[in-house]
Every structure is written in C-alpha cells, then in structure tokens.
Structure 1
C-alpha cells in the first residue's frame, strides 16, 4: 500500500521521546518532511541527528512549550517558513500528574487544561490557514481513558474526553476543506509515561512496580504492553492518503484492553 507520504510536511508535537518520537520516526521512514518539537532542545538535536542518519530525510526541530500561546505561534510560523506549509499536524502532549479529586488544586486543574486540551485548540487554530490550502490531516493523541476512566488519573480522564468532543465537532466543520481529523488513544504502551503510571500505582497500592505491570498485562487480551512503533503505525495510516474516508473517529490502540463497545 502506497501511503503517499513522501515530501508531505508534518509537525509532530512532543516528539523528542515516547509516542511522539515514534510517530515522527515512522513519518520520516515514509519520506515525509518532519518538524519535531518539545521543550528540551538538547533532546531535539539528538533526535534530529538520529533521524537524518537513519532515514536520510529533511528533519528539523524547533523548541516550544505548548502551554505558551506565543511559542505555539512561533512553532507554526517556523514550520511554514522551513517547509513551505503544513500537511499533517500531530497534536500530542505529556500526561498530567496523577491524583484524586480531593488532592488536586485549582492550579493542577489549570495546568492540565492548558497542556492537554487548550494546546490542541491553539495548535489547530494556528495551523488551520495552511491546512485549508490543500487539505490535510490532524491527529489528536489522547488516552484509553476516553473509553474507560483510569483510577487515580482524574485530570487525564477529564481533559482527554474534551479532545474527543473537539475532534468530533471539527470533523464536520473542516470536512469542506478536505481536512480529516481523528483521535488516537493509546492503552498500555511501553513508554516512560506508562512506567511512571505503573510506579504511581505501585506506590498507591504499596506493591512493587513489577507486580502492577503483571496485573495490567493480565487484563490485556494480548497479554503484553504495546510498542511505540505499533502505536505509530496506526497514526501514520491516519496521516496518509490511505485513510481518505476516516474522520471524526476515536481509535484505541490498546491490545483489546478496553472492553467498551
């Protein structure tokens, strides 16, 4: 199957590690021009060198804090000036901290809102003039909590659902411009974030992190955590011409973990 991604211009947010890096790598492998970004310039430079050596494609980077609206404007402008436009926008951000209702402050709620929902809104708003020129793809990365709340992750459970509402609404508004927008939700994918969540749950339950992981795997039909590359494959399909009739959808990549219909 020809995904027709060669020379497409992609911006992948939060891409110096984890799922974002895996997505950027797969897009680069398919021949896309990729702008990577995060707050850590040293990591971005290292990833850029790695991808250029491995894939021999145009990979650039621009540091940005997606909770800062001016950083977002600068990021979009830099991407357009560097590549001549944007065809693919991958919205991604690190997960908010764990916590229960009584343990979370107004500041915690505000930070999570800025990072995990408003950043998506701002990135889409700034990229939209470019995407409307020739059509394009927007993929919003969320969490399996959009289908099944995760104990101890109230902030994520709340704001990830906002991403689903945003995606579904925009799928209708943007369809006349041939802009397709979807949400992709990871389950237990082997990243630093999941390692942190396993440790958080271990501390909360007073058991070992290894025991938490084994219990989690026993509830996954495939009996293992997914790899970042497996997740990136789904996102890459949605970013490609092969997904020309998929918009407004929420797709789980979770090994069958969530039982919801």
Structure 2
C-alpha cells in the first residue's frame, strides 16, 4: 500500500531508540525525509547510521538535531533547525521518555513538576513551534502516548496524571486546526517490546519476588494476543496514522496494544 509519504518531511522527537526510532525508520522506509531528535548525541549518531543501513536510504533522507525535552528553548531551537534542514514540515511525531514510576506518597511536588515538563509541557511546546509550518503543508501531528493512561493504575502516577493531557490537547488541536487541513491523533502503545518494557519487567520481578520469566508471563497474560508486540509492528500503524493514506482520521486515540484495552468504547 502506498502511504503517500514520498517527499514528505517529518520531525520525530525522542527517537534515538525505542518506539520513536522505530517510527522514524518506517517513515524513511516509506519515502519520507526525517529528522530525529534526542538529548544524547552518541545515540542519535548511532540511530541515524542504523536507519540508513536498515532502509538503504540516501544519506540525506535521515539526520538528527539535539533536543532536551526538559528545556523549552532547546525544543524550540531544535524544531526550527529541523524545519530549516527539511525545508518545511509535513509530519510532527511527538514522543517522550518514560516518566518516573512511583506511588503517590513517594513523590515530591518537584518530581511532579519534572513530569509535567518532560511529558505534557514538552509536547505543547513542540506543537506550538511546529504548527505554523504544518499549516502551510496541511500536515499531521501524531502523539505517541502510552495506552496505560487509558486505565490508570497505582505506581504510574506521573504518567497517569500528565499523559491524558496529551489526549486532551490532541482533541483540541484536531478541532481548532481542522479547517487548516491539519490532522491530530494519538497512538497508544502497550506491551510493545522496548527498553522501557524490559525495565518494567525487571522492576516487577524485583517488587513481587518472582523471576523475570514469570514477570514477562504476567505482562503477556494481560494481552488478547498473549505475546509482546515488536517495535516495527507498532511503527507501521503509527506511520499509517501520520500519512496521507489516513486523511479522514483525526482527533482519535488509537490503542496499539495487542488487545490490552478491553473497553468497548
């Protein structure tokens, strides 16, 4: 299926590894020119090299800018640099690192402030900075936001407080910028293999006094498909949502979670 991504220009945040990198890889594979961002230059350099090798793309199809999501000026500067390098912008993919996992009594107000900055405020700033260029191109915003925020549970307080704010922001932007031809959606992963999932499995095993194999079984038992997803499986759906092939899809929150989310609505 041709997704219509040839000659499209994309900026992907928090994409030096994990699901962000997987999305960037699929965008390049489908013909887009992509700038990825992260705070770690070494990981960015490695990611760009690996994406070029995996996709066989031309060198100028993928590059990077350094961006610390805790720094407002850094987000704005990185966004402008990406737009300048690409010559405009058709697709913004927002993403963020996994917030601290703790129970409510163990968290300070400062830690909540940090979570707000890295999860919600960073997304707002990136959208604000990129929207003028997206208006010119009738582009798309696709927010990567964990599906766990759809069903909040203990120990993930920071993510469960601020990630739903991205869902709300996405809905509002879809309404306000629909007349400009801009589509805004969230794709919500759960149970997809990543460094973050591995860390959670290790933490679950330690917390419950069980083996990592048993902890992995608990995670997979939550899923209708009874197996963890692969980053490329998640990325293919996320890229479709961001592409012209999904040109009547906006304001949606789409779980990509192997059937973890069981609600009918």
TM-score normalised by structure 2 residue count:
0.96
Q: Where does 1:206-225 land on structure 2 (aligned, <5 Å)?
A: 206-225=209-228
CA contact (8 A) 1:145 1:160 kept: no
- SS in structure 1 at match of 2:38: coil
2: CA distance between counterparts of 1:219 and 1:59? Answer: 36
1:23 deviates by 0.2
1:78 deviates by 0.7
| CA-atom RMSD in angstroms | 1.1
Instruction: Give CA deviations for 1:171-199 in whole Å, capped at 9, x if unaligned.
Output: 10010111100011101111000111112
| Partner of residue 42, structure 2 | 42
1:208 deviates by 2.0
Q: Where does 1:216-235 land on structure 2 (aligned, <5 Å)?
A: 216-235=219-238
1:203 deviates by 2.2
- SS in structure 1 at match of 2:4: coil
- SS in structure 1 at match of 2:34: strand
CA contact (8 A) 2:202 2:212 kept: yes
Kindly report structure 1 stretches of 4+ aligned residues shifted beyond 6 Å: none
| Partner of residue 252, structure 1 | 255
- For residue 244 of structure 2, the aligned residue among 237, 241, 256 is 241
Instruction: Give CA deviations for 1:94-119 in whole Å, capped at 9, x if unaligned.
Output: 11111111001111101110011001
CA contact (8 A) 1:98 1:200 kept: no
1:63 deviates by 0.9
1:149 deviates by 1.5
Instruction: Give CA deviations for 1:2-38 in whole Å, capped at 9, x if unaligned.
Output: 1110121000111110000000000000010000110
1:47 deviates by 1.5
1:76 deviates by 1.2
Structure 1 position 201 matched with structure 2 position 199: no
| Partner of residue 31, structure 1 | 31
CA contact (8 A) 2:22 2:232 kept: yes
1:201 deviates by 1.9
1:83 deviates by 1.0
1: CA distance between counterparts of 2:180 and 2:70? Answer: 28
CA contact (8 A) 2:89 2:137 kept: no
1:52 deviates by 2.4
2: CA distance between counterparts of 1:11 and 1:154? Answer: 29
- SS in structure 2 at match of 1:37: strand
Structure 2 residue ranges without an equivalent (≥5): none
Deviates more, 1:87-96 or 1:44-53: 44-53
1: CA distance between counterparts of 2:234 and 2:104? Answer: 30
Instruction: Give CA deviations for 1:49-85 in whole Å, capped at 9, x if unaligned.
Output: 2222333131111111011111111111111211111
| Partner of residue 111, structure 1 | 114
| Partner of residue 17, structure 1 | 17
Equivalences, count: 261
Structure 1 residue ranges without an equivalent (≥5): none
- For residue 67 of structure 1, the aligned residue among 56, 70, 75 is 70
